[in-house]
Amino acid sequence: MVLVMKVLGICGSPRKGANTEYALNFTLNELKTMGFETEAVLLSEKEVKFCNHCGKCLEGKECPIKDSAREIFEKMQLADAIIVASPVYYVGVSAQIKALFDRSLMIRGKLKGKVGGAIAVGQARNGGQEIVCEQIINWMLTHEMKIVPMRFGGMLVGSMKELEAVKRDEVGLNSCKNLAKKIAEALQK
Ligand SMILES: Cc1cc2nc3c(=O)[nH]c(=O)nc-3n(C[C@H](O)[C@H](O)[C@H](O)COP(=O)(O)O)c2cc1C
Would you list the domain boundaries of the chain? 6-50+63-188
User: pLDDT of 127-170, one tens digit each?
Assistant: 999 999 999 999 999 999 999 999 888 999 999 999 999 999 99
Ligand 1 within 6 A of CB of 88: yes
Per DSSP, what are the bridge partners of residue 157?
122
Among 101, 94, 93, 86, residue whose Cα is nearest residue 142: 101
CATH number belonging to domain 6-50+63-188 = 3.40.50.360
Ligand 1 within 6 A of CB of 68: no
Ligand 1 within 6 A of CB of 124: yes
Enter the pTM of the model: 0.98
53 burial (CB, 10 Å; 0-12 / 13-18 / 19+) is exposed
Positive/negative CA dihedral, 79, 81, 87, 91: positive
H or E stretch including 184? helix 170-188
Is 183 in contact with 83 (CB distance < 8 Å)? yes
Rounded to the nearest angstrom, the distance between the alpha carbon of 90 and the centre of ligand 1 is: 7
Model confidence at 39: pLDDT above 80: yes
Ligand 1 within 6 A of CB of 18: yes
